[in-house]
């Protein structure tokens, strides 16, 4: 993965954190390309209160790991305010 790819992934993950923080509900589904060509199957809807904080926590851990990787590469991310 290039540095530009990593920066883009960080920016996308920052956006997702904001989306999940502000969501009313979250739809979780499985995707099984082997048995289904319809896309997501076995969908379940959760309220944001039920699952939103967990998703935000996971995304924040991913962000921390990606930022640490950037730092290891000697790159300081500009404009990261979230």
User: pLDDT at position 32, please?
Assistant: 72
Q: Is there a domain that residue 79 lies in? A: no
Using an 8 Å Cβ cutoff, are 63 and 13 in contact?
A: yes
Residue 23's domain comprises 3-72
What's the pLDDT tens digit per position in 11-65? 999 999 999 999 999 988 887 766 666 666 788 999 988 998 999 999 999 999 9
Q: What is the DSSP letter of 36?
A: -
Count how many domains the chain has.
1
Q: Is there a domain that residue 54 lies in? A: yes
This prediction's pTM: 0.75
């Amino acid at each position: 993965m290039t540095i530009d790819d990593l920066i883009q992934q960080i920016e996308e993950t920052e956006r997702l954190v904001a989306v999940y923080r502000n969501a009313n509900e979250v739809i979780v589904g499985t995707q099984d390309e082997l048995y289904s060509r319809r896309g997501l199957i076995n969908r379940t809807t959760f309220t944001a209160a039920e699952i939103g904080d967990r998703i935000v926590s996971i995304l924040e851990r991913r962000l921390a790991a990606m930022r640490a990787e950037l730092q290891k590469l000697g790159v300081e991310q500009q404009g990261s305010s979230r």
